[in-house]
């Protein structure tokens, strides 16, 4: 897998999420393209890289989503989305054997699972942070963590819907990504005959 291509597509997805994505809002749920790109990469990249590529995307998401503090300053907290994406990738990796990877609908389902778990961890990390550091407030304040999980679940559903056409488009760029297509050769009767 070419890391440069992955980073490029991740940055493009982040930029679209921060600008163009707003017009695709369904109700209050704005779909995000970043999970679609990450899931596409996880489903096709070598298995040992899965968690790392997800964490890198999560780190970028953390860096570009600062929270507003009570004194009006912005604070970038690294970790919530990084850990969330890591757990999401751990959930998606086993699906590689169950799903037909190149099917966009399969990718949509995988994106739904990925986004859902990532959001649960995101909320959990912020709750932990609130418990440890009393002066911190998350972005959903004064709402509750449960409410935020529910909101993020709706976003995950929308992500799953958006992932279908997005992954279909990403499939067109597959040659750029340099995913390994080597197959393991198993000796057998047919090979012996040949």
Partner 1 sequence: MNATKLLQYLSTRLRGPRLDGALAVLALVLAILPARALAPWTGDVARIVAVPIVPIMHLGMALRERIRPPREVFDPRAPEVIELEMAAERYRTLFEQSRLKTEALERDLAAVKAVRARAGSGGVQLETAAVIGIDPTRREGLVRISLGARHGVHRDAAVILRGDIFGGVVANDPAEFVSLVRPSVRCSLGVRIYPDEGVDADRAPAVFPGTVLKPADGGVWLGDLASDAEVREGQVVRLADDRYGNVSKGMRVGRVRRVLPNDQVPLARVVEVEPLAHLVDEATVVVAIDPPEGTP
Contacts to partner 1 by CB under 8 A: 11-12, 14-16, 18-23, 48, 51-52, 55, 58-60, 63-64, 66, 69, 73-80, 82-83, 86, 125, 128-129, 132-133, 135-136
Closer to partner 1 by Cβ: residue 60 or 95 = 60
Tell me the C-alpha distance between 67 and 129, whole Å. Answer: 13
Q: Taking phi first (over 0 means left), then psi (-120 to 50 degrees means alpha), and beta for anything else, what does residue 27 get?
A: left
Instruction: Count Cα atoms within 13 angstroms, Cβ side, for 19.
Output: 6
Rounded to whole angstroms, the Cα distance separating 123 from 152 reads 9
Smallest distance from the beta carbon of 187 to partner 1, in angstroms?
A: 28
Point out which residues pair with 74 in neighbouring strands: 68
Q: Which is nearer to partner 1, 39 or 56 (CB)?
A: 56
Q: Give me the least distance between CB of 11 and partner 1, in Å please.
A: 5
When the beta carbons of 116 and 121 are compared against partner 1, the nearer one is: 121
Least Å distance between CB 71 and partner 1? Answer: 10
Report yes or no: 42 and 93 within 8 Å, Cβ to Cβ.
yes
> Which string of DSSP letters, residue by residue, matches 2-48?
-HHHHHHHHHHHHHHHHTGGGGG-BTTB---SHHHHHHHHHHHS-GG
Backbone dihedral angles phi then psi of residue 75, each to the nearest 5 degrees? -135, 130
Instruction: Look at strands 74-75 and 67-68 and give their pairing.
Output: antiparallel
- Report, in Å, the least distance between residue 135 CB and partner 1: 7
Work out how close the CB of 109 gets to partner 1 at its nearest, in angstroms, rounded to a whole number: 24
Q: Can you tell me which residue has the tokens 């604070």?
A: 75
Shortest Cβ 193–partner 1 spacing (Å): 39
């Amino acid at each position: 897998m070419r890391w440069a291509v992955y980073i490029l597509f991740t940055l493009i997805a982040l930029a679209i999420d921060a600008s163009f994505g707003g017009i695709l809002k369904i109700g209050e749920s704005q779909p995000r393209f970043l999970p679609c790109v990450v899931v596409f990469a996880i489903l096709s990249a070598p298995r040992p890289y899965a968690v790392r590529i997800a964490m890198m995307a999560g780190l970028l998401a953390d860096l570009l989503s600062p929270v507003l503090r009570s004194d009006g300053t912005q604070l970038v907290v690294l970790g919530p989305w990084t850990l969330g994406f890591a757990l999401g990738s751990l959930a998606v990796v086993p699906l590689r054997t169950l799903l037909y990877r190149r099917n966009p609908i399969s990718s949509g389902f995988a994106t739904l699972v990925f986004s859902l778990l990532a959001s649960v961890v995101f909320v959990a990390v912020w709750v932990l942070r609130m418990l440890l550091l009393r002066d911190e407030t998350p972005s959903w304040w004064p709402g509750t963590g449960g409410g935020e999980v529910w909101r993020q679940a709706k976003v995950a559903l929308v992500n799953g819907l958006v992932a279908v056409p997005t992954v279909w488009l990403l499939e067109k760029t597959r040659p750029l990504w340099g995913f390994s297509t080597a197959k393991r050769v198993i000796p057998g009767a047919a090979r012996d005959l040949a």
